[in-house]
Amino acid sequence: MNTIMYGIPNCDTIKKAQKWLNENNISFTFHDYRKDGLDNQLLEQFYQLASWDQLLNKRSTSYRVLTEQQKESLNAETISPYFIESPTLIKRPLVLHNNVAIVGFNAKNYQQFFAV
């Protein structure tokens, strides 16, 4: 089984998800957007498993600083440069496990997702 968590390490939701995975003995690799980067190739992998609007974090500071015009123009064709420029626009955590994605953290959902 291959499990990768994508995000930023100082995010509280990331910390909760990491704690849950560790407590349930699920090994994972952490991909820090800031250190390990985010490019179009990785985004394409994400899009194969989740839609751009599922990935968009409308609660993030990065989203709130976008102008209304920018927000209104977001779609499948325009979102990628925003994600690459500001990976915090992607909901956290994004976990890929056996070619399936789970976006965000909810202990009950994780329990079902990982069949613990």
Q: Is 31 helix (H, G, I), strand (E, B) or coil?
A: strand
Catalytic residue among 3, 4, 8, 11: 11
Q: Is 11 a catalytic residue?
A: yes
Alpha helices for the chain (secondary structure H): 12-23, 33-36, 40-49, 52-55, 61-64, 68-73, 79-85, 107-113
**Residue 66 CB coordination number (10 Å):** 17
d(CA 23, CA 84): 32
| Whole-number Å distance between alpha carbons of 42 and 87 | 12
Instruction: List residues with catalytic annotation.
Output: 11
